[in-house]
Chains A and B, each alone.
Chain A
Amino acid sequence: MTDSAQIIADPVAEQSRPATDFDQRYYNLIAYIVSNAIAGEIMAIENYSEMVQLMPGSSAKIETVNQANEECKHILLLSKLGRTLDVGVQRRIVEPQWNQIRKHFSTAVSRRDLAACLIIQDLMTETMAIMLYRTLADEAETDPKTAAVARNILADELEHLEIGKHRIRELLAEDPSKVHDALAWAHHRVMPELFSMISTSCHFLCDELNIECGSLTLDSIRTDIEALKVQALQSYVETLDSIFDSAVTNPLIASMSAYEGYGQMFSGEAGAACCGPSAKTSGQ
């Protein structure tokens, strides 16, 4: 893995910690975001590796292996960024949502549902990754080293998204209803997990990073959770629109207004008042 890291452009090489325009809160935030990004990259490696068996031919299998390899390089870049900035980052999956998405992906593999695999990894996860790296790549908001690494990774993720779109369009041409079913199946399982991670509160990650949970805010990169949620939603809608008909995607997007953790974005309140059995219910 070290060898792989050395053969790619190294945007953090030969640079020291930047000038002190950024305070400790900023670096805590970067540690949190980078750790989560690494977890996403680990998941991506596992997903691409598991998906290889479903790919239709040798060239597609090789391309998928290459995608896994690129995600591996991203981990090395992000880890090195952590060391350069002198912030602790985790190189393992901490937050449970990533494991949940992995579980759904493995289910899709066991069902030999290539469309669902591509949708989960190349559309859903990559779209969220692109949104994240675009935010970090904004030099006006982040330090130069973080911005450079994010730009580098962003280029790869954009390419992965395009590869995924191309493959899904091919599957759509063969059997649209099967792909639409795969989209709905994946959407209802994976998107709630991905959107629940657009948050500065966590399950365990802050503990692992020795950050006081609840102390993180995004104002040091001049954005907020609300803005990120809007961006994430718009990016996801844009990705879906580039492949699917709105008659297929509209009901799926509409269902996001009910997501746990996303309710404040659209429904006004998360959770629901209740008088009834243990299902999610509401007084009317």
Chain B
Amino acid sequence: MLRALGQDQRAIASPGRRILLTGASGYLGSLIAASLLAADGEVRILAPTRPKRDAQDVVAPIAAELVALAGSGAEAALARLQIVALPPQLEELDPVLRDFGVDEVIHCAGCLDYFNKSALDAVNVDFTRILLEQARRIGVGRFIQISTAYSSGYVPGDVAEALHPDPEEDPTHYTVTKRAGERLVAESGLPYLILRPSIVIGNSTDGRYSGKRYGLYQLWSGIERLLCREWHDTMHVFAPSQPANLVHQDAFQNAFVAAWRSLPPDTIVNVVSRDTETPSVRQLWDLWLSTCNRPRRTIYYESMADIPVREIPPPQRALLALASVNLQIIGHRWRFETTQLDRLEQAGMVFPQARLSSVETCQNRLIESSAAIQKFLAKHASALVAAQ
């Protein structure tokens, strides 16, 4: 039976308020920065970025998100964010961290290049190790790691909110390195919190999204580039009927802040939508195709191996190949333990589930903002109408 947060003897008394945040220039990092600055007036964030990186480029998406979250208080909140250039050796940052009074590390930097094994190892494993050493040196109270819901690799049954053993198969080397990073954190001796989001998409209410074209956006972007040049009478799509686990960015932000505030040390949280709520891959395709491409006929395939790749139109074949790795991951039947999310929700956290209607909000925002798609819709209006 779940315990109320207040009854947990290990409940964290006071989360860190002088925070070292890595990866602030990325999507989840910027969401975390904005959420923390908006949620707690005492929080100050130090964000190291690459020396050549323009600090304004890092601050801009955080500022935009802060405006959405905090309105007129955004400017004051942003003043509590400090960007610092990453030195060649991380130890050189120690005096800066001590001056800042860093008492917590949120490690959000990571390599997502599935196919660059050396970079994945260097960033997701080696850099995590170095950062943990630094965190120990300066004596932080907690180390928070942003991992992935897929760090278990392909496993039968539920993905537990625990450290994972090595599976028989991993989708990519990315999950191997994220799993290794989690273990380093857990074995560091520092109190830790690990959050594992699934596929993060835009805000549930207005669809805003400032991330790169990863995850579902990679697929949408691929359709935009490859399938919106000409109208396709028939579409061949890899569309398993099982749920595709998506998480809205506001759900991720709420879960992060709630976990940061209230979860006890050494906790792992799967930040995922409920299986019963999140749409299937097939529903996602239907949603897109009915809005944009509107083919006369759609042929669905439950397995990649069933698709006659040499017989389908070249743009569809190219998309299938380009998106094949992510499609296979999204098409796998994932089941996640959600004990910690359930606890947080019982304690009052609002977690907007990714439902077909809210995903549609995100999808349509992208479609409306895409010049290429609008051109396609205008050019093929007659075919699109006839196909309906």
Residues of chain A having any CB pair with chain B under 8 Å: 188, 226-227, 230, 233-234, 237-238, 241-242, 246-247, 249-251, 253-258, 265-269, 272-277, 279-284
Contacts and interface: CB of A to CB of B under 8 A. Distances in A.
A276 B109 contact: yes
B161 to A, nearest CB: 19
A257 to B, nearest CB: 6
A250 B123 contact: no
B50 interface: yes
B318 A254 contact: no
A275 B49 contact: yes
Given A268-B212, A273-B212, A276-B22, 14 more contacts: A246-B304, A250-B320, A251-B325, A254-B323, A254-B325, A258-B115, A269-B212, A274-B25, A275-B23, A276-B109, A279-B111, A281-B109, A283-B26, A283-B108
A90 B57 CA distance: 39
B48 A275 contact: yes
A280 B321 contact: no
Contacts of A233: 226, 318, 322
A282 B322 contact: no
A234 B37 CA distance: 46
A282 B122 contact: no
B221 A266 contact: yes
Contacts of B221: 266-268
B119 A280 contact: yes
A273 B26 contact: yes
B248 to A, nearest CB: 16
Contact of A237 (B53, B58, B314): B314
Interface string B3-34: 00000000000000000001111111110000
A281 B119 contact: yes
Contact of A277 (B49, B122, B146): B122
Contacts of A272: 112-113, 212
A284 B23 contact: yes
A241 B109 contact: no
B153 interface: no
Contacts of B115: 188, 251, 254-255, 258
B309 interface: yes
A257 B218 contact: yes
B24 to A, nearest CB: 6
Interface residues of B, number: 58
A241 B309 contact: yes
Contacts of B305: 247
A230 B226 contact: yes
Contact of A265 (B118, B225, B304): B225
B127 interface: yes
B29 A283 contact: yes
Contacts of A188: 115
A27 B75 CA distance: 52
Contacts of B229: 227, 230
A222 to B, nearest CB: 14
B137 interface: no
A274 B213 contact: no
Contacts of B25: 273-275, 283
Query: When A and B form their complex, which 10 residue pairs have the shortest distance between CB atoms, in order from nearest?
Result: A283-B26, A268-B213, A283-B23, A253-B321, A273-B25, A255-B115, A250-B324, A279-B119, A275-B109, A283-B29
Nearest to A231: B314
B226 A284 contact: no
25 contacts: A230-B229, A237-B318, A246-B304, A249-B321, A250-B304, A250-B320, A250-B324, A251-B325, A254-B115, A269-B213, A273-B26, A273-B58, A274-B53, A275-B24, A275-B29, A275-B109, A276-B22, A276-B86, A280-B113, A281-B109, A281-B111, A282-B109, A283-B24, A283-B26, A283-B28
B109 A284 contact: yes
Interface in B138-155: 146
A267 B213 contact: yes
B373 to A, nearest CB: 13
B291 interface: no
Given A274-B25, A281-B119, A241 B113 contact: no
Interface in B75-92: 86
A216 to B, nearest CB: 22
A241 B313 CA distance: 12
B81 to A, nearest CB: 14
A284 B114 contact: no
B315 interface: yes
A92 B321 CA distance: 36
A274 B109 contact: yes
A266 B324 CA distance: 13
B126 interface: yes
Contact of A282 (B110, B213, B226, B307): B110
Given A251-B325, A276-B127, A279-B123, A284 B314 contact: no
A275 B22 contact: yes
Interface in B257-313: 304-305, 307, 309-310
